[in-house]
């Protein structure tokens, strides 16, 4: 493998969600990737414990996906999808629709999870307006929810640092459900915790406060990833569904990380047996090879909006230049075929018990306060260091990288979400390395 010289000027790239000064003083640079491994610029193999950013579900550098993109770019680099189309856009939409819960088979393409969230919120508002209930404008999110970084997403999101700088510009009509994280009741749960379904009933309080006639939609992640792996309590999502249905409120599941096999099914909706009205997705939709996201809408929502305007009039004033970009669509078609051919969703389901056992083997490791998991997702929460929240997990993350394992950290929580091609030996190595590292962390 040829190694390029390491660039020595890191100043121009303003890095996203990064402590820029800290990073640039001691950078961690990746230069190639294949299968389960990255290679760093200093020539080390690094086991990918988080599928990049929860997105490379089929593993890195998959030849079929690379070939599909390459061929598409040399055939047609770009085609507009505003009042024009190209066949792959329709093929990709059909393939995505086939994986969605029954009835959610109308697919709107975006370029990211954030755009998918803002798109879904706008579709919800458009739907109510098309039905003559345009006063339903309130959106309900949840504390500790992460829905990307658009103004819609940060408004319904529940993470203070993502909101406070922009607080004057957040959407005005938003409320939040309580989060479901509770270590007093649910520490070291395997799979769905038993306690907490009743927290969904807070939606009734919010409905009483604002009146259902003003509420458009509720958005939650079925499993919250970015705020540290929060698994929904047993019965919680079912209860949310019931209350939304009762009051004519749309339910949106943000499946940007849970879609495409992460929990052992095509969607978390399928896994939990709860069907929302809209699903947002991105990331693993095309194995993250080219930016792409999507919203799956129920046929009712789609038809209500699309049939409400005059013939010849645009029905939804929304879209992106790169919605269904040919290269992204080619990557999606190739990826979804590959998932099916290799049975990766089933593989995730069958590996999940091994993954669970390996994660929970850290129970007695130093600093560990909680471990939780579902499907191919696990979180290990550490006792924070006095007066320095997040510092301990950051140290663990850096030391793991130095020891050849890439994990994510958020606050003092380590998150694990490897590509679904990981094998049992690699799972054991991943958690063993983390245990060894934790023993050395201050
Ligand atoms: C649940 C959820 N929604 C939305 C997003 C935002 O996606 P993106 O970074 O592609 O905009 C993320 C990203 O991690 C996510 O986890």
Compute how many other C-beta atoms are within 10 angstroms of the C-beta atom of residue 1. Answer: 7
Ligand 1 pocket, residues with Cβ under 6 angstroms? 112-114, 117, 146-148, 221, 225-226, 254, 256-257, 282
Mean pLDDT of 322-348: 98
C-alpha dist (Å) from residue 155 to 74, 145, 152? 41, 10, 5
This prediction has a pTM of 0.97
CB atoms inside a 10 Å sphere around CB 413 = 22
pLDDT > 90? residue 309:
no
> Residues 238-271: pLDDT tens digits?
999 999 999 999 999 999 999 999 999 999 999 9
Considering the domain boundaries, does residue 14 fall inside one? no
Ligand 1 atom showing the smallest separation from residue 255 Cα:
1
Task: Tell whether 284 and 348 lie within a shared domain.
Answer: no
- Per DSSP, the three-state class of 72 is helix
Cα gap 160→152, rounded to integer Å: 15
pLDDT in tens, 82-129: 999 999 999 999 999 999 999 999 999 999 999 999 999 999 999 999
CA of 26 to the centre of ligand 1 (A): 27
Question: β-pairing, 377-382 with 215-220?
Answer: unpaired
The last residue of one of the domains, among 278, 313, 342, is 342
Average pLDDT, the chain: 97
Residues 87 and 113 in one domain: yes
Do the domain assignments include residue 208? yes
Residues 47, 157: one domain?
Answer: no
Residue 130's closest CA among 139, 119, 122? 122
Distance separating alpha carbons of residues 208 and 203, to the nearest angstrom: 9
- The answer as to whether 151 is a domain residue is yes
CATH number at residue 185: 3.40.640.10
Residues 338 and 376 in one domain: no
Provide CB contacts within 8 A for 116, sequence distance 6+: 110, 148, 254, 256, 280, 281, 282, 293, 294, 295
- Residue 258: per-residue pLDDT: 98
Do 181 and 271 reside in the same domain of the chain?
yes
Q: Are strands 106-110 and 293-297 parallel, antiparallel or unpaired?
A: antiparallel
In this prediction, residue 8 has a pLDDT band, given cuts at 50, 70 and 90, of confident
Same domain, 366 and 426: yes
| Last-in-domain residue among 342, 366, 384 | 342
63 Cα distance to chain centroid = 24
Predicted confidence at residue 1, as pLDDT, reads 46
Q: State residue 56's pLDDT score.
A: 98
What does the alpha-carbon distance between residue 390 and residue 301 come to, in Å, rounded to a whole number? 42
Q: Quick check: is 180 in a domain?
A: yes
Residue 83 CA to ligand 1 center (angstroms) comes to 28
Residues 45 and 99 in one domain: no
Burial of 87 (0-12, 13-18, 19+ CB in 10 A): exposed
Mean pLDDT of 306-326: 96
Average pLDDT over residues 411-439: 98
Residues 252, 381 within the same domain: no
Q: Per-residue pLDDT for 139 more than 70?
A: yes
**Residue at 314 is within a domain:** yes
**114 CA from centroid of ligand 1 (Å):** 6
The per-residue pLDDT for range 384-399, each reduced to its tens digit, is: 999 999 999 999 999 9
The SS3 of residue 269 is: helix
Taking 3-state DSSP, the helix, strand and coil percentages for the chain, each rounded to the nearest 5, stand at 40, 15, 40
Instruction: Compute the distance between CA of residue 417 and CA of residue 404 in angstroms, rounded to an integer.
Output: 16
Overall domain count for the chain:
2
% the chain with pLDDT above 70: 98
Output the pLDDT for position 6: 58
Residue from 175, 176, 195, 177 nearest 185 by CA: 195
- Domain boundary among the residues 342, 376, 399 is at 342
Pocket test of ligand 1: the residue of 257, 258, 290 to mutate, having most ligand atoms within 8 Å of its CB, is 257
DSSP string for residues in 396-421: HHHHHHHTTEE-EEETTEEEE---TT
- Which residue, chain included where needed, has tokens 């529940």? 158
- % of the chain with per-residue pLDDT over 90: 98
**173 is a domain residue:** yes
- Same-domain pairing of 338 and 400: no
Is residue 378 located within the same domain as residue 250?
no
Would you give the distance in Å from CA 119 to the centre of its chain?
15
Residue 144 near residue 157, CB atoms below 8 Å:
no
Q: How far is the CA of 181 from the centre of ligand 1 (A)?
A: 20
Per-residue pLDDT, 396? 98
* CATH number where 364 lies: 3.90.1150.10
- Report pLDDT digits (tens) over 328-339: 999 999 999 999
Inside any domain, residue 6: no
Of 15, 112, 113, best ligand 1 pocket probe by most atoms within 8 Å of the beta carbon? 113
Is residue 365 located within the same domain as residue 280? Answer: no
Residues 90 and 170 in one domain: yes
Ligand 1, atom 13: closest residue by C-alpha: 148
Q: What is the mean pLDDT of residues 67-95?
A: 98
Q: Is residue 177 part of a domain?
A: yes
Range of the domain at 328: 66-342
pLDDT at 224 (0 to 100): 96
Q: How far apart are CA 36 and CA 88, in angstroms?
A: 29
- Is the distance from CB of 171 to CB of 155 less than 8 angstroms? yes
Q: What are the pLDDT digits (tens) for 158-205?
A: 999 999 999 999 999 999 999 999 999 999 999 999 999 999 999 999
From the CA atom positions of the chain, what is the Rg in Å?
22
**Hunting for tokens 């992204």 — which residue is that?**
328
């Amino acid at each position: 493998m040829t190694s390029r010289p390491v660039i020595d000027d890191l100043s121009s790239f303003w890095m996203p969600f990064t402590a820029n000064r800290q990073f640039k003083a001691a950078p961690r640079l990746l230069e190639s990737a294949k299968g389960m491994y990255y290679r760093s610029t200093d020539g080390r193999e690094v086991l990918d414990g988080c599928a990049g950013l929860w997105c490379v579900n089929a593993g890195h550098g998959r030849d079929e996906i690379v070939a599909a993109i390459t061929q598409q770019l040399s055939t047609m680099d770009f085609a507009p999808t505003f009042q024009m189309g190209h066949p792959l856009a329709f093929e990709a939409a059909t393939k995505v629709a086939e994986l969605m819960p029954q009835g959610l088979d109308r697919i709107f393409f975006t370029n990211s999870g954030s755009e998918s969230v803002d798109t879904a919120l706008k579709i919800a508002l458009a739907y109510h307006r098309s039905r003559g209930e345009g006063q339903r404008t309130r959106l309900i999110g949840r504390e500790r929810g992460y829905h990307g970084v658009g103004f819609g997403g940060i408004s319904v999101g529940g993470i203070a640092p993502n909101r406070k700088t922009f607080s004057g510009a957040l959407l005005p009509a938003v409320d939040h459900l309580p989060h479901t994280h509770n270590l007093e009741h649910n520490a070291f749960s395997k799979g769905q915790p038993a306690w907490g379904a009743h927290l969904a009933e807070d939606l009734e309080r919010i409905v009483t406060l604002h009146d259902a006639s003003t509420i458009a939609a509720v958005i939650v992640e079925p499993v919250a990833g970015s705020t540290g792996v929060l698994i929904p309590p047993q019965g919680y999502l079912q209860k949310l569904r019931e209350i939304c249905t009762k009051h004519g409120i749309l339910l949106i599941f943000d499946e940007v990380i849970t879609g495409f096999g992460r929990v052992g099914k095509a969607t978390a909706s399928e896994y939990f047996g709860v069907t929302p009205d809209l699903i947002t997705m991105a990331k693993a939709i095309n194995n993250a090879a080219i930016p792409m996201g999507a919203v799956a809408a129920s046929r009712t929502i789609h038809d209500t909006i699309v049939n409400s305007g005059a013939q010849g009039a645009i029905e939804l004033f929304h879209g992106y230049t790169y919605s269904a970009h040919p290269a992204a669509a080619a990557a999606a078609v190739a990826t979804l075929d590959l998932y099916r051919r290799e049975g990766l969703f089933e593989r995730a389901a069958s590996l999940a018990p091994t993954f669970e056992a390996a994660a929970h083997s850290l129970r007695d490791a130093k600093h560990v306060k909680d471990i939780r998991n579902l499907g191919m997702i696990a979180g290990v929460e550490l006792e924070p260091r006095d007066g320095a929240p997040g510092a301990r997990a950051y140290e663990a993350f850096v030391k793991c990288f130095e020891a050849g394992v890439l994990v994510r950290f958020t606050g003092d929580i380590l998150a694990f979400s490897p590509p679904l091609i990981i094998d049992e030996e690699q799972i054991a190595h991943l958690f063993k390395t983390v245990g060894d590292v934790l023993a050395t962390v201050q």
